[in-house]
Amino acid sequence: MRPLARLRADLATGKNLEIYLTAAIALVVGVLGVFDLVDAKVVGAATLATLALVAVNALGPRHQVADLEKRVAELSRLLEAGMPGGDFLSGDTKEFDARISRSLDLRFAGVTLNRTMRSYVNDLRKALERGASVKVLLIDPAGPVPEEAARRSTIPDQPDVFEHRVRSTLYLLRDLPVRERLEVRLLPFVPAFMMFALDAGDEDGLVHVELGGHRSPGPTPGFTLSNRRDHQWCRYFVAEFDRLWEVAREVTDTDWYPARHP
């Protein structure tokens, strides 16, 4: 854009007016000083005014840079808190662990959940005693699902590993108090992921999701979602849990006490 056209555009939109005003004052003062049309005091005052405008004009970019630095720092904080792009798939459950002791609606879905239930058994006992609702979804140890789980874990000849783990989880849950608030159902297939949800219907609800692996070394990748921050995805995974719950069968006495029902 040509200089005159840029000048007209800026004046029409009110942009950069302080720059043009500074330039105009400096030009006028310079011309008047050259032709000695005003005395030195007027020239000095006008010069100070021009310098003041230059100083004020310089503050604008400084404030913009400070605002940009603030926004970058806020973005970095969000990334560290688990937003996509940061350490999102770390599998860290610290945020979840800190909430489980005071939640009233707890939901768990997975293959055997053997290690998970052992880790949270004391928290689940306390939750049930204070009136919380606990729902747990596992694969059905009595059907062909342990074989499917074994194939997916690249140990097709060891389905008994998964059957024993599921039954061990059931025995652990069986001994929890206040069983009327503990609901357990068994899935006819291997779920695509493992998930835990705390107070999923509340504004500050949490959902932790872990991706299924095939005996991969190292920790399982996972992420924690906040209903306040990730509302859409929290709703998605809670809806997935509800769909799994609908197709799963209820645990019977045969599952709780298989030795009594040969």
Residue 244 covered by a domain: yes
When pLDDT is averaged across residues 135-149 and rounded to a whole number, the result is 94
Tell whether the model's pLDDT for residue 83 goes beyond 50: no
Residue 85's pLDDT is 43
Judged by average pLDDT, the poorest of 37-51, 140-154, 181-195, 196-210 is: 37-51
End position of a domain, from candidates 80, 111, 126? 80
Indicate whether 73 and 116 sit together in one domain.
no
- pTM to 2 decimal places: 0.65
Largest CA distance in the chain: 117
Using CA atoms in the order 103, 105, 111, 115, what is the torsion angle rounded to 10 degrees? 20
**What is the C-alpha to C-alpha distance for residues 82 and 87, in angstroms, rounded to an integer?**
6
| pLDDT per position as a tens digit, 247-256 | 999 999 889 9
Residue 140 covered by a domain: yes
Indicate whether 165 and 73 sit together in one domain.
no
Indicate whether 51 and 122 sit together in one domain.
no
When pLDDT is averaged across residues 186-193 and rounded to a whole number, the result is 94
Tell whether the model's pLDDT for residue 48 goes beyond 90: no
Residue identified by tokens 């095939």 is 214
Structure-token pair, residue 52: 């003041």
Residue 213's pLDDT is 72
Average pLDDT, the chain: 79
End position of a domain, from candidates 30, 47, 80? 80
Residue 1's pLDDT is 52
Instruction: Identify the domain containing residue 51 by its residue range.
Output: 3-80
Residue 86 covered by a domain: no
| pLDDT per position as a tens digit, 211-248 | 877 766 666 788 888 898 899 999 999 999 999 999 99
Q: Which residue has the higher pLDDT, 17 or 225?
A: 225
Beta partners for residue 223, in sequence order: 209
